[in-house]
A and B are shown apart, each in its own frame.
Chain A
Amino acid sequence: MALNHSNREYEAELLKLRHDILEMGGRIEEMIRDAVRSLIERDSDLARRTIAADNHVNRLEIDTDELCLRILARRQPMASDLRFISIAFKMVTDLERIGDLAVNVCERAIDLNAQPELKPYEDTQRMADIVREMVSAAIEAFINGDAERAAAIIERDDEVDELYHTIFRDILSLMLEDTNVVERGIHIQSTAKFLERIGDHATNLAEQVIFMAKGRDVRHEGKLPKG
């Protein structure tokens, strides 16, 4: 860990920012877990409680944005502090989007829970576990400035994409066999798509952590036209 900042008030603001991101990340992880549990355990009350919990995440997003702006205006941060704050600014947007996607999963769960079960949700559960781990690891990598950890998260996104395609193929065959299951099939496919998007946002988080830790931008690596 680096030396403390000479200005203790500034140091406290940076700590608060770190803490807020950590709290936001923790709440998001719970939301992903509960959203998928509400589907698998057919617990629509849990889905509704999870939807309500998103308000808290939205509040944290607004507070964190404000804190970042205040620090930028008052402290004119430099170097790693500057990267930390600008990345925190971007991360809260991704985190908030992940919260919204968990809400979307809950909404589908409520619809699906009102109808007979189409098939076991093993792959969906597996996807949810991976994306939750990705979010959790991204937050941890952010807090510790750990670029290696963040790079490992990016690798996992392929697993998520593969699971999504598996679910999509399975659901498609079911729908082709029996048109009565199309509505449920589409809901399950959407759920998988929401989880896949969560994986993309977790990948964004990880890329941002690498920039923060190393000062190297790995987004779209090797794919951009020469500027």
Chain B
Amino acid sequence: MAQRALMVVPSEPAQKPLSDSPAKFEVSGLVASFGDNEVLHGIDMVIPKCRITAIIGPSGCGKSTFIRCLNRMHELTPSARVSGSVLLDGEDVYGRRVDPVLLRRRVGMVFQKPNPFPTMSIRDNVVAGLRLTGGLDRSRADEIAESALQQAALWDEVKDRLDAPGAGLSGGQQQRLCIARALAVEPDVILLDEPCSALDPISTARIEDLLTVLRERYTIVMVTHNMQQAARASDLTAFFLTGELVELGPTAKLFTRPQDKRTEDYITGRFG
């Protein structure tokens, strides 16, 4: 564990080839609604393993709902319904025998607003997810916290104050703390919902840099309003519009030569 955390990952070109990566998620016919309001109208989409997939689109297009369907968080909203299939490594996450709590450990989530537990220390914040699911002795907790903080590129900034409250960190540090918390439970996939929209450009750059390192081991799906962020930080970009997937393609191609006129109009700011 500790060895893994200390591993130096060489910097990779920003965009990795997509063809050689197997599917992590295979989504087909995904329909999601809140009461009578259908927000996703049958999405078919493959998300490759160990790549960063960005999801862009105007407010209300269903992009956040989409990623919340990937780890069954959508169904936590009263009146929410979902149909279709979402295969994770070939297994239907909506299968009868799937425990949503275990699924959410495998498919972690980081939200728009950094949300560390305010009364908990930095260390306890990181291992909070593990504590919830069973006994954890102190030395093991310390080991996991260090590893996760290292991976989240926060360790050097907090190693001397692990017992200080997480809420005392800056916004960017809090967001990396939340990423560390997601990593501590050893997920396969990290979903990020507008992870940088509350952060300044330097903190944003640190998160984006971190994501390119994390992609070595994790599949990352990121919803973002910021097209430049999608262009900078992702391998693959999906454009959603009014509950439909309009276009999915390699990021460099989508932002220079989109195939669909609706994508073109949206990314050039000619929307509506």
Contacts and interface: CB of A to CB of B under 8 A. Distances in A.
Interface of A: 2-7, 10, 76-83, 215
A25 B164 CA distance: 66
A79 B271 contact: no
Contact of A80 (B268, B271, B272): B268
A5 B270 contact: yes
B144 interface: no
Nearest to A76: B228
Contact of B257 (A2, A4, A10, A215): A215
A73 to B, nearest CB: 12
Contacts of B111: none
B265 interface: yes
Contact of B227 (A78, A80, A215): A78
15 contacts: A3-B265, A3-B270, A3-B271, A6-B269, A79-B256, A79-B257, A79-B263, A79-B264, A79-B267, A79-B268, A81-B268, A82-B256, A83-B256, A83-B257, A215-B257
B272 A6 contact: yes
B122 interface: no
Contacts of B250: none
B272 A79 contact: no
B256 A215 contact: yes
Contact of B269 (A10, A83, A215): A10
B269 A2 contact: no
B42 interface: no
B269 A5 contact: yes
A77 B268 contact: yes
B255 A79 contact: yes
B258 interface: yes
A83 to B, nearest CB: 7
Contacts of A4: 270
A77 B268 CA distance: 7
Contacts of A10: 269
Contacts of B264: 2, 79-80
Given A5-B268, A78-B268, A79-B257, 18 more contacts: A2-B265, A2-B270, A3-B270, A4-B270, A5-B270, A6-B271, A78-B227, A78-B231, A78-B255, A78-B269, A79-B255, A79-B256, A79-B258, A80-B264, A80-B268, A82-B255, A83-B256, A215-B256
5 smallest beta-carbon distances between A and B, as pairs: A215-B257, A3-B270, A78-B267, A81-B268, A6-B269
A7 B256 CA distance: 20
Interface string B215-232: 000000000000110010
A179 B7 CA distance: 78
